[in-house]
Amino acid sequence: MAVIHRTTLAPTKLELLAEWLPSRPWYVGSPRPELDRSGGFRLDDPQGEVGMELMVVTDTSGEEPTAYFVPLTYRGAALDGAQDALVGTTEHGVLGKRWVYDGFHDPVLTAQLLALLDGRAEPQAQSVSDTPDPTIERACEAGLLGSATGRAADGPDGTDLALTDGPVLHVNRVLRPGSLPEGAAGHVSGPWRTPDDEEVRGVFAVLRPA
């Protein structure tokens, strides 16, 4: 189970993301994001080594607020071959130096996200230790999920991960409230809060059949 430490981070997660987000092809905001944490959940690493937080942040720097889905992993050492996915490093008040990665390019998070889709992993509360999060919904047609076949591909409308036997897991990086798109074979969805403190729901990830 995920253990949440009540401690300091320097720089903070939002400070790291404000520097990193404008470099992403799916980012649609200004060069200087103004970010608030809006929601999200966690997944557990079966080995207990990698922290995983699937965060929603809202950028209020533009004319209209924009919510982004940003899965992050926290590691005690650099991940080999993942320099391009590094969001930054931070000093954790309990755990020391942590390497923070775009989680969709981290094999531990992608494996657990597929396990969540398949019903083999349980979403955890973002800010409370040892607490499942019942607001996160998942569904998947039987027999579709394989393993990832390679690195994730970022594009202007999100991130795609090709799976064995043809399906693609698409992550919506720019979030919009709404229901599941037509033709989806599986999904992960959940809530976040707007700057007006309204709770909305939308789809975080969609499994598209071959």
Structure tokens at 114: 């597929």
Residue 2 counted as domain residue: no
Q: Which residues contact 119 (CB under 8 A, 6 or more apart)?
A: 138, 140
Contact assessment for residue 162 and residue 150, using Cβ atoms and an 8 Å cutoff:
yes
Q: What is the pLDDT of residue 27?
A: 96
Residue 28 counted as domain residue: yes
Strands (E), the chain: 9-10, 35-43, 51-59, 66-75, 86-92, 96-102, 137-140, 153-155, 158-162, 168-171, 174-175, 186-193, 199-208
Does the CA dihedral 120-83-149-141 come out positive or negative?
positive
Q: Give me the average pLDDT of each 10-residue run along the chain (210 residues).
A: 68 96 95 96 94 97 94 96 94 85 94 93 90 94 74 92 87 93 90 96 91
Residue 4 counted as domain residue: no
Structure tokens at 17: 């993301």
Q: What is the pLDDT of residue 19?
A: 97
Q: What is the pLDDT of residue 68?
A: 98
The counts of H helices and E strands in the chain are 2, 13
What's the total number of domains in the chain?
1
pTM over 0.85, yes/no = yes
Residue 104 counted as domain residue: yes
Q: Which residues contact 151 (CB under 8 A, 6 or more apart)?
A: 105
Range of the domain at 45: 9-208
Contact assessment for residue 16 and residue 22, using Cβ atoms and an 8 Å cutoff:
no
Alpha carbon separation from 75 to 1, 15, 133, 169 (Å, rounded):
16, 18, 23, 24
DSSP 8-state assignment for residue 112: H
